[in-house]
Chains A and B, each alone.
Chain A
């Protein structure tokens, strides 16, 4: 992914914490800041969820999605009628 350069002003204690974490993990300051922002902004949430999923083949997943959606609606209709 292309990178964009920016300048930010941080409180000294935050900057110190970035430096410490970078030294401890062997990462660059910018990587620590970017990872923190990604976590806070939820940018990795979808990728993390997909990483946990056992992927369904597309055709199979799509068929199952609609079969089960229609079955669920049918059950709800039946419950409403009874």
Chain B
């Protein structure tokens, strides 16, 4: 069974665009096509972002809490990485995701060009690539 980490930007997109590609990836996890991995740090970033004012036109704060609960229920909660990533990202804030993917031997699904630029060096896929190539 494939194992994958959906980084916070992908999860935000999945939650606010139910018909989008990121949502299809989340639905695939829901249907048991791969193991969705989440960590406390990842969920903290996700919740902090979704609580920002610009998202109130799409979902209310109760929905944000429901989304986080759902991911905790659906996902496998794993430890945040305690070591450095195998290589650094142009955006250091993404390093924990690279380290997490390495630690868990999981694919990373991202829409962030800083991470996608590392394709070939780490197992990182855009949502559409992940759907087409990994499932």
- Bitwise interface map of A from 33 to 59 toward B, beta carbon under 8 Å scored 1, else 0: 000000000110110011011111110
Range for the number of chain B residues in contact with chain A? 35 or more
A20 at the interface (CB under 8 A from B): no
Whether A49 contacts B67 in the complex (CB less than 8 A), given A65-B49, A68-B52, comes out as: yes
Range for the number of chain A residues in contact with chain B? 20 to 34
Sample of 12 A–B contacts (CB below 8 Å): A46-B30, A53-B16, A56-B17, A58-B13, A58-B20, A58-B21, A62-B9, A64-B55, A66-B111, A69-B8, A69-B9, A69-B45
> From A57, which residue of chain B is reached at the shortest CB distance?
B17
Chain B positions within 8 Å of A, measured between CB atoms, are 8-10, 12-13, 15-23, 26-27, 30, 45, 48-49, 52, 54-55, 57-60, 63, 66-67, 70, 73-74, 91, 93, 111-112
